[in-house]
Amino acid sequence: MSQPPATPALPSSPARAPAPRRSLAEAQAWVEAQTSTPLPPEPVAVEDSAGRVLAQALTAPLDVPAFQRAAMDGYALRSAEVAAASAQTPLRLPLLPGLALPARPYEGALPPGAALRIMTGAPLPEGLDSVVPIEDVQPCADAPDHIQLLQPAPAWKHVGRVGEDIARGAAVLPAGRRLRPQDGGVAASLGLAQLSVHRRPRVRLLVTGNEIVAPGADKGPWEIFDANSVTLRGLIARDGALLESHQRLGDDPAVIAAALTAPGADVVLISGGSSVGSEDHAPRLLAELGELAIHGVAMRPAAPAGMGRIGATLVFLLPGNPVACLCAYDFLAGRALRRLGGLGSDWPYRARQARLGRAVSSAPGRVDYLRVCLDGDTAQPLALSGASALSSTTRADGFVLIPAESPGLDAGSAVQVLLYD
């Protein structure tokens, strides 16, 4: 039987003794200290503002509407002149010649006791204070130039009044708001062509490992498809950051070092090679090229996570196991991206209260990331370990955090579930 060709030897670093793990609280405090100031603002066209983070509170520079305008197609009139109209005593009004249209105010005389045809959005002539919809008016068969009312028309009914939507000087949108499409629409209604938003963090995504191949590529029997890149790219976009580049590097230390030190990124994420084995180059390279501030965090999964900086660039070492990679990103790297982009430290997940379906144990001194499925108000534990089982996060509805001071949680314990959706 033929033997498979020998794998060529690669330069490697000796295995290192693991450093003492830092608490999750310490790791997050380091992230907060490095990201205390969001990235500086930049202007963006209001048409492109959705999803961006507002850097300065928005105050209305004008009233919306800026003039009294019709809110319905119908007839404009003076409410006081039709107060006596009823089904028993219909009131006939002569129609003025002409029509009030949007952007084309009526310019004729407005004698007492008359009505004027008006279209939605048209300026309401001075002195008129109500609009009666077409369907609420009866024509006069014997007088085509008259209408008949069977009920009063309250003052300002079906009229958009000055400042009714937004008053000049009103607080419209707060700083730090992630702008929704309708927020941009409101800004446009105020005549604003640009908004001041925080610059999006530029993220370089590096994936290490000679065994990693791109999805869809030809795969050898001992290779694996790159799932972490797809997950991380989605998380980067979710957290409002901009992907500067995405590189699959293998395990060559020189190639990894060059990618770490190239200019152009605010944050570098390295997936894989974050532990202490001979082929785990990332921690050593980060320490040599800049600062390895933390390596090893007391959490499960994601214990091999690390972080530091090279010059002004933040670097996060994310474990190669997919669930650990997701976990380390959410707790540490994603927190940094959200803060740099002006979003703050809040979780990007909705929270829901539930009761734990069965008891789970944990090790005091370590935060555990427990995936759960919801069954009504019950959170059923799905997995506590299994850092490589990414499908557990697709079967789960969310996750529960078991705090470091806890030896576990009893069945029926009240828990907060952070929902993936």
CATH of the domain at 229: 3.40.980.10
**Could you count the other beta carbons within 10 Å of the beta carbon of residue 333?**
29
Closest CA to 197 of 37, 36, 39, 42: 42
Q: Is the model's pLDDT at 383 over the cut of 80? A: no
Q: Is the model's pLDDT at 272 over the cut of 50? A: yes
pTM of the model: 0.84
Q: Is the model's pLDDT at 7 over the cut of 70? A: no
pLDDT for res 15? 52
Q: Is the model's pLDDT at 149 over the cut of 60? A: yes
In a domain, 88, yes or no: yes
Q: How confident is the model at residue 10 (pLDDT cuts 50, 70, 90)?
A: very low
Tokens 């010649």 label which residue?
97
My answer on whether 321 and 230 are in the same domain is yes
My answer on whether 286 and 236 are in the same domain is yes
pLDDT digit string (tens) for 232-258?
999 999 999 999 999 999 889 999 999
My answer on whether 192 and 208 are in the same domain is no
pLDDT for res 207? 95
SS3 315: strand
My answer on whether 258 and 157 are in the same domain is no
Closest CA to 164 of 65, 70, 59: 65
Q: Is the model's pLDDT at 5 over the cut of 90? A: no
pLDDT for res 388? 59
Q: How confident is the model at residue 262 (pLDDT cuts 50, 70, 90)?
A: very high
CATH of the domain at 183: 3.90.105.10
Q: Is the model's pLDDT at 170 over the cut of 60? A: yes
My answer on whether 238 and 270 are in the same domain is yes
Query: Which alpha helices (H) appear in 240-312, and where do they start and end?
Result: 253-261, 282-289
Q: Please give the helix or strand (H or E) that residue 326 lies within, else none.
A: helix 322-328
List the domain range (segments joined by +) for residue 361.
351-419
Q: What is the mean pLDDT of the chain?
A: 92
CA distance linking residue 403 with residue 401, whole number of Å: 6
For the chain, what is the radius of gyration of the CA atoms? 32
Q: How confident is the model at residue 400 (pLDDT cuts 50, 70, 90)?
A: very high
My answer on whether 300 and 205 are in the same domain is yes
Domain boundary among 198, 218, 246: 198
My answer on whether 309 and 375 are in the same domain is no
My answer on whether 327 and 233 are in the same domain is yes
Question: Per-residue pLDDT averaged across 357-374, rounded?
Answer: 94
SS3 209: coil
Q: Is the model's pLDDT at 57 over the cut of 80? A: yes
pLDDT for res 3? 42
SS3 325: helix
In a domain, 261, yes or no: yes
CATH of the domain at 122: 2.170.190.11
Domain count, the chain: 4
In a domain, 413, yes or no: yes
> What percent of the chain clears pLDDT 70, i.e. is strictly above it?
93
pLDDT for res 391? 85
pLDDT for res 274? 73
Angle at 316 between CA 315 and CA 317, to 5 degrees: 125
Tokens 């003492």 label which residue?
20
Highest mean pLDDT pick, 107-116, 267-276, 329-338: 329-338
CA distance linking residue 309 with residue 99, whole number of Å: 68
My answer on whether 224 and 324 are in the same domain is yes
My answer on whether 287 and 374 are in the same domain is no
DSSP letter at 333 equals I
In a domain, 14, yes or no: no
pLDDT for res 25? 95
pLDDT for res 8? 39
Q: Is the model's pLDDT at 16 over the cut of 60? A: no
Domain boundary among 340, 370, 385: 340
Q: Residue 367 is which amino acid? A: V
My answer on whether 84 and 60 are in the same domain is no
My answer on whether 278 and 361 are in the same domain is no
CA distance linking residue 241 with residue 39, whole number of Å: 11
Question: Per-residue pLDDT averaged across 214-219, rounded?
Answer: 90
Beta strands in 96-234 (DSSP E): 116-118, 130-133, 138-139, 146-149, 159-160, 171-173, 194-198, 202-208, 212-213, 224-225
pLDDT for res 358? 95
In a domain, 345, yes or no: no
The two three-digit tokens of residue 209, written as one number: 């490992």
In a domain, 82, yes or no: yes
In a domain, 118, yes or no: yes
Domain boundary among 292, 313, 340: 340
CA distance linking residue 271 with residue 305, whole number of Å: 10
The two three-digit tokens of residue 271, written as one number: 């997936």
DSSP string over 335-371: HHHHHHTT--S--SS-EEEEEESS-EE--TTSEEEEE
Q: How confident is the model at residue 6 (pLDDT cuts 50, 70, 90)?
A: very low
Question: Per-residue pLDDT averaged across 119-129, rounded?
Answer: 96
pLDDT for res 418? 97
Q: Is the model's pLDDT at 279 over the cut of 60? A: yes
Closest CA to 279 of 3, 2, 10: 10
pLDDT for res 17? 54
Helices 253-261 and 282-289, interaxial angle, to 10°? 50
Lowest mean pLDDT among 98-107, 230-239, 274-283, 303-312: 274-283
Tokens 């610059």 label which residue?
199
Q: Are 242 and 203 in contact (CB under 8 A)?
A: yes
CA distance linking residue 189 with residue 24, whole number of Å: 45
Query: Which alpha helices (H) appear in 194-252, and where do they start and end?
Result: 228-238
In a domain, 17, yes or no: no
pLDDT digit string (tens) for 332-345?
999 999 999 999 99
Question: Per-residue pLDDT averaged across 261-289, rounded?
Answer: 87
Biggest alpha carbon distance in the chain? 109
